[in-house]
Chains A and B, each alone.
Chain A
Amino acid sequence: DAGVTQTPRHEVAEKGQTIILKCEPVSGHNDLFWYRQTKIQGLELLSYFRSKSLMEDGGAFKDRFKAEMLNSSFSTLKIQPTEPKDSAVYLCASSFGNTGQLYFGEGSKLTVL
Chain B
Amino acid sequence: TQTVSQSDAHVTVFEGDSVELRCNYSYGGSIYLSWYIQHHGHGLQFLLKYYSGNPVVQGVNGFEAEFSKSDSSFHLRKASVHWSDSAVYFCAVSASSGSWQLIFGSGTQLTVMP
CB within 8 Å of B: which of A77-104? 91, 93, 98-104
- With CB as the reference atom, state the residue of chain A lying closest to B50: A100
Q: Which residues of A contact B36 (CB under 8 A)?
A: 104
Which of B45, B99, B107 makes the CB contact (< 8 A) with A42?
Answer: B107
Judged by a CB distance under 8 angstroms, whether A56 is at the interface is: yes
> Interface on B for A, CB 8 Å cutoff?
32-34, 36, 42-46, 49, 51, 90, 94-102, 104-107
Q: Is the interface of A mostly helix, strand, loop or mixed?
A: strand
- With CB as the reference atom, state the residue of chain B lying closest to A98: B100
Asked if A98 meets B98 with Cβ closer than 8 Å, knowing A42-B107, A104-B44, A106-B42, the reply is yes
Shortest beta-carbon contacts, A-B, top 6: A100-B32, A104-B43, A43-B104, A104-B44, A106-B43, A98-B100
Contact yes or no, B102 A42, CB < 8 A: no
Q: Which residues of A contact B95 (CB under 8 A)?
A: 98
Contact yes or no, A48 B46, CB < 8 A: no
Judged by a CB distance under 8 angstroms, whether A12 is at the interface is: no
Asked if A4 meets B104 with Cβ closer than 8 Å, knowing A55-B99, A98-B97, the reply is no
